[in-house]
Amino acid sequence: MTRDLAVVGTDTGVGKTVVTAGLVATLRADSVDARAIKPCQTGYPPDDDARFVADACGTDEAATCLRRLEPPLAPEVAAREAGTDLSYESILGDCRAALSETDRGVVEGIGGLRVPLADGREVIDLVADLGLPAVVVARSGLGTLNHTALTVEALRRRDVPVRGVVLNEYEGASVAERTNPDVIREMTDCQVATLPPVDLSDPSAAVDAVAEHLPRSLVDDTA
């Protein structure tokens, strides 16, 4: 079974990069050659998820981005708008090559699972074709039950093992937030962890937060 991992989200902006940075740093702290792999970065600049992970971990060796596109759109749409050739096979092949060059790879998704990558293929196709287990990152508040359960269901339909769900920016400030972790456990039969809001002006704060609040089983699959 692969020791690599995918970090996917229920949507864009849910905190995949924060979780990715923390998980990669957790592995690197144990002297593991772990690296975040971003298949495609859109909205570049200013968006640069691999740069954030590298800064959080304190080394450029902690992250790589395979291609960057300026339009802040889904990769397939961004490539078309930019007049750039982008094929699914090139994305898949480049991800496989990057994973082969590191001991533990953490592939960070782009937006949600149904985001178009290229040639009619989506993020969920990439995760399934790479044969990676997944960690799902979701919002903590009202509305996350539906999005999270559908995401987990979609992954399992493609035979993608789900290591767990992370509810990001969890404060427990509302009844919905306080009850969501238990309800998601019941709905999905997944372990559910919560990550509080983090001041990301210092990227290394993401590493400390993940180390403090998320279980090691997300990367090691040991309950």
- Residues labelled as active-site residues: 38
pLDDT in tens, 89-130: 999 999 999 999 999 999 999 999 999 999 999 999 999 999
pLDDT in tens, the chain (223 residues): 579 999 999 999 999 999 999 999 999 999 999 999 999 999 999 999 999 999 999 999 999 999 999 999 999 999 999 999 999 999 999 999 999 999 999 999 999 999 999 999 999 999 999 999 999 999 999 999 999 999 999 999 999 999 999 999 999 999 999 999 999 999 999 999 999 999 999 999 999 999 999 999 999 865 4
Q: Tell me the C-alpha distance between 21 and 97, whole Å.
A: 21
pLDDT in tens, 167-179: 999 999 999 999 9
Q: Is the pTM of this model over 0.95?
A: yes
Confirm if 197 and 169 have CB atoms less than 8 A apart.
yes
CA distances from 138 to 66, 84, 95, 147, 180 (A): 25, 31, 24, 8, 11
Which domains, from first to last, does the chain contain? 5-217 (3.40.50.300)
- pLDDT at residue 203, as a whole number: 97
Confirm if 75 and 116 have CB atoms less than 8 A apart.
yes
DSSP bridge pairs for 112: 9
CA distances from 18 to 25, 84, 162, 207 (A): 11, 29, 18, 8
CA distances from 201 to 26, 126, 187, 198 (A): 20, 31, 35, 9
